[in-house]
Chain A
Amino acid sequence: MSDKIRESFDKNPNKKAFIAFITAGDPDIESTEEFILKMADAGADIIEVGIPFSDPVAEGAVIQNANVRALKAGTTTDKVFEMVKRVREKSDVTLCFMTYANLVYHYGYDRFFAYCEELGISGVIIPDMPYEEKEEMESISLKYGVKYISMVAPTSEDRVKMIAKEAKGFIYVVSSMGVTGVRDNISTDLSPIISHIREVTDVPCAIGFGIKEPEQAKTMAGVSDGAIVGSAIVRIVEKYGKDAGQYIYDYVKSMKEAVLQA
């Protein structure tokens, strides 16, 4: 079976990927469809589509507010699936879902991942489902070829290797403590974590949380295999609303170029 996530890294000359996040349904579901296509055109290697949740406890204010706007606009899990279906008519960009355990649990694991398979969703990122709890979801997602993306944090210490050994797709390395959101500088030295991961697996590692500037993306992709950006993109949506498309395109393009120089 081909590994679409892996290919999204390997296709670039330096084998490093730029991963973009967007909250689905902010400001409305039609705009999200357009933004995803724009990000794909601008060179985003993987796009994480956030299914909005009422209580996104891993998110800082920017993405939390986007969740609120998306839910107010009537976004549901079904509407996100339907939107992705329309995206798939125009693009085969690598897609992952990022959401909270309760939404997937409530939809029904089998029903959720069967739909993911139909739409060619490559992976799922669930920040409130750690290693100890993943089996109930992963045992089902894998039946449908959807990878459960493992997260590693600055506090993971002795857990890094345990997590990395079972990781599939890519490893989401959380750059710093706390919640998502733009940070002026990322002080955690992530290279020890990356080298621990490398000892046990060749699954690519991408760093997320706090990245905004191309220079940061280049540095982070330099020590790993890629950079993940969410809040900075959502901020553009917050600022420009439905008209954010071109701004997102320009931003993603500049970030992708930076990652390619890493």
Chain B
Amino acid sequence: MNSKGRFGEFGGQYISETLMNELIKLEECYNEAKNDPSFQEELNFLLNEYAGRPSRLYYAAKMTEDLGGAKIYLKREDLNHTGSHKLNNCIGQALLAKRMGKTRLIAETGAGQHGVATATVAALLGMECEIFMGKEDTIRQALNVYRMELLGAKVNAVTTGTMTLKDAVNDAMKEWAGRVDDTHYCLGSVMGPHPFPTIVRDFQSVISKEARVQILEKEGKLPAAVIACVGGGSNAIGAFYNFINDKGVELIGCEAGGRGVDTPETAATIATGTMGIFHGMKSLFCQNEYGQIAPVYSISAGLDYPGIGPEHAYLNSIGRAQYVPITDDEAVEAFEYMSRTEGIIPAIESSHAIAYAMKIAKKYSKDQSIIINVSGRGDKDVAAIARYRGVDLHE
């Protein structure tokens, strides 16, 4: 007998007994809310009026011409309030938390985008907020730390392990296990124990719900491919979800290859990971022969995670989606390319997806289209990219 929340053999609820009832209550609350018109109305109101949805599907004419293949469309999640897709999920989960009578939100963050989005919703809804962020990331993304504090959140720098996203998740889980009465853990990706991978996917699926309608309006047919970056995988599953049944649409996730998948300095889970049980789920993880979780690396703090959401592991296993590694170098080049070609500075995370589109655009004919999910904007990355290029820049 397999437990709840399975995608094939992936997923499940591998979590301490202390949190089990809380997860069960969350699932019940979510199932009720899903079918409650007043919840949907409030969610849609905030997504449209506050976050600024629907986000644009922009035809990138110059990139299209330059790359000389498929028409390139950009799903502009970078134009979402707070600058990334993360807010879609945070609004949904914060409304759920309120419905459950919680007054406090906690969250992990890598690049800081999910932390900022959580802090933003907490401010909006008058909730207390505490963010866990690896110390290494608080340095890489110092501006986002200040941003969260400005929004009224407390930021805890996590000093254990590799001091990055994985360790931030560890500490957020520990915090939650110690305080469930008034606190909801607003998990930022399609990972962790059931029901999180499903809840987060549903809240992010607005991306492909909109994109599917938009591309049919503009092109009169479905795209040849949808491309998104993958860390835990929330923007990617959001961009894929409503295309999964459209068998002719290729779904491509771009993982953080770091300095290369043949080096230990990578975070490409599908390329280098093996089956395991961690952070509440059975999925693929970067780990050693004994199952010790590997210290992963990527230039992108948001993709610097040793696992992948169970639904992605499943889509990979059945061949419905494919996953490719993109190196730091390739991502930085894509970051610069899109900035100067389209006047859009993408997040370094999203740049992994752009890099792959640049590689394959030519493969397609001019009457085919590709959608790239631009999951976030790159303002937060400018200083890091400058340093990468050897420019001594201080924010």
> Which residues of A are at the interface with B, using a C-beta cutoff of 8 A?
53-55, 57-58, 60, 64, 68, 71, 76-78, 100-103, 105-107, 127-133, 135, 151-159, 163, 174, 177-179
Contact = CB atoms under 8 A, between A and B. Distances in A.
12 contacts: A55-B170, A57-B170, A57-B279, A102-B293, A106-B274, A130-B16, A132-B3, A132-B20, A135-B1, A154-B18, A155-B180, A178-B174
A153 B18 contact: yes
B276 A106 contact: yes
B292 A71 contact: yes
B90 to A, nearest CB: 23
B21 interface: yes
Given A106-B290, A179-B178, A151 B16 contact: yes
B99 interface: no
Contact of B14 (A76, A78, A129): A129
Given A53-B292, A54-B161, A135-B1, A153 B277 contact: no
Contact of A177 (B18, B161, B173, B278): B18
A256 B12 CA distance: 39
A115 to B, nearest CB: 13
A133 B13 contact: yes
Contacts of B167: 55
A133 B18 contact: no
Given A103-B290, A157-B21, A55 B161 contact: yes
Interface in B267-294: 274-280, 285, 287, 289-293
B15 interface: yes
A128 B3 CA distance: 14
B178 A105 contact: no
A64 B171 CA distance: 11
Contact of A133 (B12, B173, B178, B292): B12
Given A53-B292, A102-B278, A106-B291, A174 B17 contact: yes
Contacts of A102: 276-278, 285, 287, 291, 293
Nearest to B276: A102
Contacts of A107: 290-291
A130 to B, nearest CB: 5
Given A64-B160, A105-B277, A133-B3, A179 B177 contact: yes
Given A100-B277, A178-B177, 12 more contacts: A53-B291, A55-B278, A57-B16, A102-B278, A102-B291, A103-B292, A105-B291, A129-B277, A130-B13, A153-B17, A174-B18, A178-B174
B17 A131 contact: yes
A130 B161 contact: no
B114 interface: no
B117 to A, nearest CB: 24
A128, A152, A154, A157 — which one has the most chain B CB atoms within 10 A of its CB?
Answer: A128
Contacts of A163: 17
B34 interface: no
Contacts of B18: 153-155, 174, 177-178
A158 B25 CA distance: 12
